Structure 1
Amino acid sequence: MSNITLRDISKALNISVSTVSRALTDSHEIGEETKKLVLAYAKEHNYVPNRMARSLKVGKTKSIGVVICSIDNSFVAQMLDGIDQACNDNGYQIIIMQSKESYEQEKACINLLYASGVDGIMISPSYQTTDFSHLTELQQQGFPVVLFDRITNELDAHKIAANNFKGAYEATQHLISKGCKRIAHLNSKSNLALTIERFEGYKQALIDAQLSYKEELVKFCNTSDAENIDVNIAKAMDHLLRQQPDAIFTTTDMLSTKALAYLNQNGYRVPEDIILLGFSNSDLAPLLNPSLSTVHQPSREIGQLAAKTLIQLVKGKDLGPAETTLLDTVLHIRKSTSK
């Protein structure tokens, strides 16, 4: 791989180093013909800019940090695809770190990204996170922070997420339309807005259909403890099934797929014995046995819009007061609710 410098390009094209530098940064001071000439030569000879040297001069690294819970599920992968696309389109690099649902690890990720010189951070907080001071401290220094997917009212920042209330409401409404009257609700245990909104959407749909809300049909499960996830979900499912529900509405990718596996392993026929509907962006949902009805979230769009918002903040654009943008979900009906 060639390691040519600005000076090499300058000599080859017989123009000044400063002209080459300005051409590569699309400066208005340089004519279009010169820009084309410099860019073509740089591309042909695989010129790679020195990020750190440039950042010392202009105060920017053209990189942003992304903190997510885990990279091992399709919903997060789809969001990252949207983030990557938006960053590529705008000439930014991304550094991705995982909190693994740990508050302490999340703080360590934030500290490392900030120390590495990223221009801004976008974060989907861990389920353990209840204290957001590590983010407010950055904001107080004028550092751009954007929340995506998992948002909270504890932080005054631009936020992009799915319309979780509406998605849960429509999912529960669908189960009611299938004749279900004892609808169980399996949710993750956290203080994040998505947990509360999905629960509230479920509850409101019951109220609007004049079905009484029953506390024993709701279970909030600890999914932040990686070593005991299967045990915790099994205990939650066992409790709910003892209440003899005719349907279960699960609220995350993990809960949805593991609940279906639990039902299959314990002799329950879906949808003959019990109906199941979940929040899931897994590509496996149509391939499961039976295929799983799901609330599909606009994952790629969430990532893309969050990245565009952060890049605008990094560039110093005045976006006005912090806003929360909620994107609509889509209900995908498959065999698990086709009773």
Structure 2
Amino acid sequence: MSSNVTLKQIAKELGLSAMTVSRAINNKDNVDEKTRERVLAKAKSMGYTPNHLAKSLVSQKTYTIGVVIPEISHSFFPEVVRGIEEVTYEKNYQLILTHSAEKFEREQSAIETLRSKRVDGIMISCSQTTRNNSFYKNLTNIGVPIVFFDRCIDGIGLSCITVNDKTGAKQITQHLINHGYKKIAHLRGPQGVSIGKKRFEGFKEALSEAHLELDEKLVADTGFQEEGGYEAMKKILELPKEEWPDAVMAVNDPAAFGAIEAIKEAGLSIPDDIAIVGFSDDIRAELLPVPLTTVQQPAYEVGKKAAQKLIRLVEDDEEKHENIEVLTELMIRSSCGCK
């Protein structure tokens, strides 16, 4: 069979209309499942491959989606991408994945590259150095559908898919308070990034509601990587011993991993000397010698919802932007003092 099999040839083989075959292959809703299965089986046996160029010329779409992630060294973003890929595959879109390495300049370059490839839409999780909101405000005027996920730019009218960062941080801080900890340190994420800001707000709110004073000396700035957590914890442990915290809430699990190394280097025990909790439920969290209590982020679900929202924006001019929160769950392990 020729490699240039057409929809009309498949339709003739099956005794169907070319329109029905097209709808089946493009996964449209108005085709019954048995017919779809027959069409897909016949297309496969005949060696049919979609003519994306012709399809793009007709629809003015490239059927490609761009994704910008800030890092790939931890489990959260690969899992998000897995959720994105499931949706785009079902909807017959191809992914172009780019990586900013936590640098705003690379983030800008990645977005410009994706635009040059005429992607139909872009999903973005901002780098921890992103500060220029005007760059994104300008993007809203060029007509390319954009959805933020996890790390978002607020206040510019674009969709954001995230978890309930503030509530999750508040709940895990309350968990520490309920276990009797009163001197709780916070390894604070960048305040120019939505998740850093919201998780700090949740931490402060939990302290306030428990009538505990926020000790600024016990708030140390960190990034989202192990090195930042390590340095932030070392800074706290340089305080006089009587001012040390009895518990630590880290902005995310990698920062907690770094802090754990600093605590161990100081000859201290977790949780007997200092308890610690994180946020994200990194794949390594439960494999530590003292498994890490943390907030589980449903990364796969975040990816799916981000992709679903973007495709709706691409395919429906009437689709509105919105903020969607996915619920988190506490994962209680022994690093907080629980058995």
TM-score (norm 1): 0.88
- 1:133-171 superposed Cα distances (whole Å, 9 cap, x missing partner): 333333212221111111122421111101111111111
> What's 2:163 paired with?
162
Counting aligned pairs with the same residue, the percent is 36
1:245-284, aligned counterparts within 5 Å?
Answer: 245-284=245-284
Tell me if the contact between 2:133 and 2:153 (Cα under 8 Å) persists in the aligned partners: no
Distance 1:333 1:83 in 2: 28
* C-alpha contact (below 8 Å) 1:9/1:41 kept by paired residues: no
Q: Is the 8 A contact 1:128 1:190 kept in 2?
A: no
1:105 aligns with 2:106: yes
Equivalent residue number for residue 54 of structure 1: 55
Query: Distance in 2 between the 1:318 and 1:277 partners?
Result: 43
Asked if 2 retains the 8 angstrom alpha-carbon contact of 1:64 and 1:95, the reply is: yes
Q: Name the CA distance, whole Å, in 1 between partners of 2:178 and 2:32.
A: 64
Q: Distance in 2 between matches of 1:77 and 1:134?
A: 26
What letter corresponds to residue 251 of structure 1 in structure 2? V
The 2-side partners of 1:334 and 1:127 are apart by 28
Partners in 1 of 2:235 and 2:35 — Cα distance? 71
Sort the Cα spacing of 1:163 and 1:12 in 2 relative to 1 into closer, same or farther, 3 A.
same
In the alignment, the residues of structure 2 paired with residue 30 and residue 319 of structure 1 have an alpha-carbon distance, to the nearest angstrom, of 24
Q: Which residue identity is paired with 2:3?
A: N
The count of corresponding residues between Structure 1 and Structure 2 is: 333
Report the residue type matching 1:136 in the other structure.
Answer: K
Q: CA deviation at 1:289?
A: 1.4
- TM-score, normalised on structure 2? 0.88
Question: Residues 258-312 of structure 1: CA distance to partner in whole angstroms, max 9, x if unpaired?
Answer: 2122222332110011000011321221110101000111211111111101010
Farther-moved stretch of structure 1 (275-284 vs 32-41): 32-41
Q: Which residue of 2 aligns with 1:88?
A: 89
Deviation per CA, 1:206-227: give whole Å up to 9, x if none: 1111111111110112458xxx
Q: Quote the residue 2:217 is aligned against.
A: 216
Look up the match of 1:171: 172
The residue that corresponds to 2:319 in the other structure is 319
Root-mean-square deviation over aligned CA pairs:
2.8
- AA at the equivalent of 1:45: M
> Would the aligned equivalents of 1:9 and 1:38 in 2 still touch at CA under 8 Å?
no
Partner of residue 64, structure 1: 65
2:204 corresponds in structure 1 to 203
Which deviations, in whole Å up to 9, do the C-alpha atoms of 1:121-141 show, x marking residues without a partner?
A: 111111111113333333212
Residue correspondence of structure 1 range 75-154 to structure 2 within 5 A? 75-154=76-155
Note if contact 2:224-2:252 (Cα within 8 Å) is conserved in structure 1. Answer: no
Name 2:285's counterpart in structure 1.
285
Q: Secondary structure at the match of 1:318?
A: coil
Query: Partner of 1:186: helix, strand, or coil?
Result: strand
Which segment drifts farther, 101-110 or 278-287?
A: 278-287
Gaps of 5+ in 1: none
Maintained 8 Å contact 1:64/1:94: yes
1:187 touches 1:255 (CA, 8 Å); kept in 2? no
Against the structure 1 CA distance between its residues 176 and 9, is the aligned structure 2 distance closer, same or farther, given a 3 Å change threshold? Answer: same
The structural deviation recorded for 1:199 is 0.5
